[in-house]
Chains A and B, each alone.
Chain A
Amino acid sequence: MSKLVKNLKEAITLCGLKDGMTISFHHHLRNGDYVLNAVVDEIAAMGIKDINLHASSLFDIHLPVIEHIKNGVITGIETDYISTGVGKQLSQGILKNPIIFRTHGGRPADIISGRSHIDVAFVAAPSSDKMGNITGKNGKSACGSLGYAFADAMCADKVVVVTDNIVDYPMYDYSIPETNIDYVVNVDKIGNPSGIVSGTTKITRDPVGLVMADYAAKVIKASSLLKDGFSFQTGAGGASLAAAKYLKDIMLAEKITGSYCMGGITGYMVDMLNCGCFESLMDVQCFDLDAVNSLRTNPKHKEVSAEHYASPDVKSNLVNSLDVVILGATEIDTDFNVNVHTDSSGCIMGGSGGHSDAAAGAKLTMIIAPLVRARVSVITDRVTCISTPGNTVDVLVTQRGIAINPLRTELRDRLKDAGLPVVDIFDLKKKADSICGEAKIERAKGKVIANVLYRDASLIDTIRMI
């Protein structure tokens, strides 16, 4: 027996895909993904319309989807993140139905609970055998972890694996087993390796970013959380990586061994694992080749599903055991609500990803952002879109001082005692306004183009057409 079919068209036909159905994709091939576009092109060529596109993230490589939105093939989008180019187009209100934004933890929760139904999941796989045992660790398009694909593979009515590397059956070190797979399609290329993972991620050389990173590491040191067993998540942004580098120096100097480091994994996290700063890496997504190689070779570097990472529906998950998470923001308001979905004009340029999941779970949630960005203060009276609620955010680190959520008086005292420049968030805002002038924000007043769901599936905000 073999689940191999001739091509995408045959798989789509065998799955019985019809007008009005929902198709899903994971985003581990990131900005190198060929699969989503190929599938949607094929669906359009087959004359199928009114499709709901359920993708864990959309990148600018998916810009061809815009044409399929305009011609009625795609009428709905459910996702956790949309990058700037696609976001700019969607902000014009071209999609028939409002986008549904979820978090990386909310997405598997909604899929597994049945709140969000997938008719056909197309799972890009850097390696697969003929029966659909798949992994992202090997193959010319290796991406490492397949963490965001687990729920789709488990719960979709039909599951199609799309691969460019067929290996002998059975693949013994699979990530997702054949038990859930209906069909396997072998194609020339599932993606462009240079867009899937960067060669190496680098810490910022921006002096302002380094000042913030230095403060961030000192905040962690002063928080009382940095001790043996410490758990940590940070993003792949330059300043976040620099903070991790400074944190590594502190952990090595003080001989602290953390329990796990998690989130999107970079070579810097791998380096921290190899230096003994952490006992393990819990990897839902690899960001660079060092991370992919480590996941393949080091048993202490473990692939985890998005459900295990952050689903609020499970009995326990990794974000709830986090000590510290470092996150970014496009805006933060004086109530510490954070926007990572839009820019200050309301144009879609991101999404929560795991932002609000990690913020809700971690004991200390730290936002790093320069006080002024492109002539606009990062601190506003009210964010354009609430992605992460302020009651889950503890600290804002800027180059001009550190603001503490008033709910965290004990933390404020600790940071002050450590000699860190603790500043009231209103004073920080005043400082920014004195540099840029107070921004006159014009709120978008068009139709609702996106509903932003919090991780528990409740509506936390909406985004309007600009």
Chain B
Amino acid sequence: MRRSMLFLPGNNPNMLINADVFGADAVIFDLEDAVSPDEKDAARILVRNALKYMDYGNTEIVVRINSIDENGFWSKDLDEIIPLKPSMIMPTKVTNAEYVKKLSDYMTAIEQKSGIPEGTVKLIPLIETAMGVENAYEIAVADERVVAIFLGGEDLTADLCCVRTKEGDEIFYARCRMVNAARAAGKDVYDTPFTDVNDDEGLIVDAKKAKSLGFTGKASIAPRHVKGINEVFSPTQEEVDYAYEVLEAIETAKKQGKGAISLRGKMIDAPIVLRANQVIAAYESIKGGSAR
């Protein structure tokens, strides 16, 4: 389960060798915005070598590459990174299904050349334009590599010609559309980072909002925000206890040959069972832990 995804600059060796100590479920090594054009090659080599030599344990590794329209950096990024088999590639400014297919085909070629089973490296498209938001569903179902979609609020608000605020009213539509598209496609969906790194309380409010809308987890640009995100996106003990009660009640009903059952005065129907299974799956995957 990915509750938190932490962006780390691909040109910072200290962050690369310590990527797994911050408690994030996934880290995103950034070759795009965090790296100036004259450092793109150095960052690419650093990230490649980090993937080659470091053991990140249970922390999932994602690499954010440059967008397809930028100076051909994207293909050089993939040439270097795909042979090291990160869990996922995060392509940027994804606007439609063709973008995803072009990328996936290129990844397939590298995988074949490197002797890696086709489709090993997955995709988590970063959707950060008005067009991308409108096409979120077609992006989510464009290719089998796509396991999740990711909302980028900063570039999106620039594209929408509005100001990004802490309250996030300006991206409310995009958030809802992204969640709906992802869930319709049966994929995970991740929320944009909360960018005020010194506002721990604001982070919690924003993460709770994202969770309430249906996001699977949330990204961060600050290691100090990881703990808060993990706590918000972990099931509470009360939720876990209730989920186990639901499953027990279902089991008991089956043994007794009952069709319909109730728990705490409420009918247990299919959505409640589905939700209980989701909570238990999440709980099991994080073993009840919080930040670290």
A contact set with B: CB distance below 8 Å = 207-208, 210-211, 372, 399-400, 421, 434-435
Give CA–CA (A399, B15) in the complex, Å.
12
With both beta carbons as reference points, the residue of chain B lying nearest to A210 in the complex is identified as B224
Chain A hits for B15, CB < 8 A: 207
Kindly name the residue among A208, A400, A421, A434 whose own CB sees the greatest number of chain B CB atoms within 10 A. Answer: A208
Q: Are B55 and A399 in contact (CB under 8 A)?
A: no
Chain B 1-43: CB-based contact to A (< 8 A → 1; otherwise 0): 0000000000000110110011000000000000000000000
Q: Are B54 and A435 in contact (CB under 8 A)?
A: yes
Chain B hits for A208, CB < 8 A: 14, 18, 21
List 20 additional contacts besides A211-B18, A399-B18, A435-B54; criterion CB under 8 Å: A207-B15, A207-B18, A207-B22, A207-B222, A207-B223, A207-B224, A208-B14, A208-B18, A208-B21, A210-B223, A210-B224, A211-B21, A211-B22, A211-B223, A372-B17, A399-B21, A400-B21, A421-B292, A434-B55, A435-B53
Chain B hits for A207, CB < 8 A: 15, 18, 22, 222-224
Give CA–CA (A214, B42) in the complex, Å.
32
B151 CB to closest chain A CB (Å) equals 24
Chain A hits for B14, CB < 8 A: 208
In the complex, 11 of the A-B residue pairs with CB atoms within 8 angstroms, ordered by the A residue number, are A207-B222, A207-B224, A208-B14, A208-B18, A210-B224, A211-B21, A211-B22, A372-B17, A421-B292, A434-B55, A435-B54
B22 CB to closest chain A CB (Å) equals 6
Give CA–CA (A434, B55) in the complex, Å.
9
A420 CB to closest chain B CB (Å) equals 9
With both beta carbons as reference points, the residue of chain B lying nearest to A370 in the complex is identified as B18
Give CA–CA (A211, B226) in the complex, Å.
11
B contact set with A: CB distance below 8 Å = 14-15, 17-18, 21-22, 53-55, 222-224, 292
Top-6 shortest CB links A-B = A207-B223, A399-B21, A208-B18, A211-B21, A435-B17, A399-B18
With both beta carbons as reference points, the residue of chain A lying nearest to B15 in the complex is identified as A207
Give CA–CA (A372, B15) in the complex, Å.
12
B23 CB to closest chain A CB (Å) equals 8
Chain A hits for B18, CB < 8 A: 207-208, 211, 399
Give CA–CA (A313, B67) in the complex, Å.
69
A249 CB to closest chain B CB (Å) equals 11
B196 CB to closest chain A CB (Å) equals 14
Give CA–CA (A207, B227) in the complex, Å.
12
Chain A hits for B17, CB < 8 A: 372, 435
Chain A hits for B22, CB < 8 A: 207, 211
With both beta carbons as reference points, the residue of chain B lying nearest to A431 in the complex is identified as B55
Chain B hits for A211, CB < 8 A: 18, 21-22, 223
With both beta carbons as reference points, the residue of chain B lying nearest to A211 in the complex is identified as B21
Give CA–CA (A435, B292) in the complex, Å.
22
B180 CB to closest chain A CB (Å) equals 35
With both beta carbons as reference points, the residue of chain A lying nearest to B6 in the complex is identified as A207
Give CA–CA (A210, B22) in the complex, Å.
9
A216 CB to closest chain B CB (Å) equals 14
B105 CB to closest chain A CB (Å) equals 36
With both beta carbons as reference points, the residue of chain A lying nearest to B289 in the complex is identified as A419
Give CA–CA (A372, B53) in the complex, Å.
15
B288 CB to closest chain A CB (Å) equals 10
Give CA–CA (A372, B22) in the complex, Å.
16
Give CA–CA (A207, B9) in the complex, Å.
13
Chain A hits for B222, CB < 8 A: 207
Kindly name the residue among A207, A211, A399, A435 whose own CB sees the greatest number of chain B CB atoms within 10 A. Answer: A207
A376 CB to closest chain B CB (Å) equals 13
Chain B hits for A372, CB < 8 A: 17
A395 CB to closest chain B CB (Å) equals 17
With both beta carbons as reference points, the residue of chain A lying nearest to B223 in the complex is identified as A207
Give CA–CA (A434, B17) in the complex, Å.
11
A209 CB to closest chain B CB (Å) equals 11
Give CA–CA (A434, B57) in the complex, Å.
14
Give CA–CA (A434, B224) in the complex, Å.
27
A464 CB to closest chain B CB (Å) equals 32
B83 CB to closest chain A CB (Å) equals 21
B8 CB to closest chain A CB (Å) equals 9
A400 CB to closest chain B CB (Å) equals 6
Give CA–CA (A207, B19) in the complex, Å.
10
Give CA–CA (A399, B23) in the complex, Å.
11
Chain B hits for A210, CB < 8 A: 223-224
Give CA–CA (A421, B292) in the complex, Å.
9
Kindly name the residue among B21, B22, B54, B292 whose own CB sees the greatest number of chain A CB atoms within 10 A. Answer: B21
With both beta carbons as reference points, the residue of chain A lying nearest to B54 in the complex is identified as A435
With both beta carbons as reference points, the residue of chain B lying nearest to A435 in the complex is identified as B17
Give CA–CA (A400, B20) in the complex, Å.
9
Give CA–CA (A434, B223) in the complex, Å.
24
B265 CB to closest chain A CB (Å) equals 36
A306 CB to closest chain B CB (Å) equals 37
Give CA–CA (A81, B17) in the complex, Å.
32
Give CA–CA (A211, B14) in the complex, Å.
14
Give CA–CA (A207, B16) in the complex, Å.
12
Chain B hits for A400, CB < 8 A: 21
Chain A hits for B21, CB < 8 A: 208, 211, 399-400
Chain B hits for A399, CB < 8 A: 18, 21
A184 CB to closest chain B CB (Å) equals 49
With both beta carbons as reference points, the residue of chain A lying nearest to B20 in the complex is identified as A400
With both beta carbons as reference points, the residue of chain B lying nearest to A400 in the complex is identified as B21
A310 CB to closest chain B CB (Å) equals 34
A159 CB to closest chain B CB (Å) equals 49
B49 CB to closest chain A CB (Å) equals 12
B224 CB to closest chain A CB (Å) equals 6
With both beta carbons as reference points, the residue of chain A lying nearest to B291 in the complex is identified as A214
B283 CB to closest chain A CB (Å) equals 16
Chain B hits for A421, CB < 8 A: 292
Give CA–CA (A210, B223) in the complex, Å.
9
With both beta carbons as reference points, the residue of chain B lying nearest to A372 in the complex is identified as B17
Give CA–CA (A211, B17) in the complex, Å.
14
B201 CB to closest chain A CB (Å) equals 14
Give CA–CA (A372, B21) in the complex, Å.
13
A45 CB to closest chain B CB (Å) equals 48
A41 CB to closest chain B CB (Å) equals 42
A243 CB to closest chain B CB (Å) equals 14
With both beta carbons as reference points, the residue of chain A lying nearest to B21 in the complex is identified as A399
B271 CB to closest chain A CB (Å) equals 34
